[in-house]
Chains A and B, each alone.
Chain A
């Protein structure tokens, strides 16, 4: 158990819809990272938050947004969903100090019908 909790585990929805994925980091970790894993693209970094503020952005679509709340949990919002958004979405956390590795949750599997 990595200590990173993601909900829901599975999500099935239709094109055009909006979903929210939730992540609770390990106790004491200030940084939260979101990654997308698809069959053809592998694991791709989306966005990082540190102590409530956006720290780094990857190839995240404009239809996607995230935030980190005062209690340090984070949410990834995906809107106007397309078939190609079907993927595993992982959250990872770290203390936020340099050279401290990231620990991953078990992901949310998003299926767009």
Chain B
């Protein structure tokens, strides 16, 4: 089936550093989504991307929809303690369907 390969699996950084993570697939997608999950809570939508090459920002977060439509990137600038959590990429699993396929997640830990 379709799979999203997310990397890195975990990151340990200092407060104030920039963060980059990415998601790749052998399949082409028309939509890429980035979610963040805090302990004990559900995934929260951060950014939605709908067009190849699209670059979208949400505060200190910036995400890009890769030109090949097979990848996406999420960057966080000047990290702060509340950025701690697990970040997931997701995409609709089948052309035209809305069920989501998720990456394995990137666990972000920040040392103050």
Contacts and interface: CB of A to CB of B under 8 A. Distances in A.
B33 A101 contact: yes
A14 to B, nearest CB: 24
Interface in A54-113: 56, 58, 90, 92, 94, 96, 98-99, 101-107
Nearest to A56: B99
Given A42-B105, A43-B102, A99-B50, A104 B44 contact: yes
Contacts of A58: 99
B59 interface: no
**Chain B interface helix/strand/loop/mixed:** loop
A56 B97 contact: yes
Interface string B95-109: 011111111110000
Interface residues of A, number: 26
A94 B42 contact: no
B101 A101 contact: no
Given A105-B42, A106-B41, A106-B42, A45 B50 contact: no
Given A42-B105, A99-B50, A106-B42, 15 more contacts: A2-B44, A4-B42, A31-B98, A35-B100, A42-B102, A45-B93, A56-B98, A58-B99, A90-B43, A92-B42, A92-B100, A98-B98, A99-B31, A103-B45, A104-B44
27 contacts: A4-B42, A6-B42, A33-B99, A33-B100, A42-B102, A42-B104, A42-B105, A43-B43, A43-B102, A45-B93, A45-B99, A45-B100, A45-B101, A48-B98, A56-B98, A56-B99, A90-B42, A90-B43, A92-B42, A96-B98, A98-B96, A98-B98, A102-B45, A103-B45, A104-B44, A106-B41, A106-B42
Interface of B: 31, 33, 35, 40-45, 48, 50, 88, 90, 93, 96-105
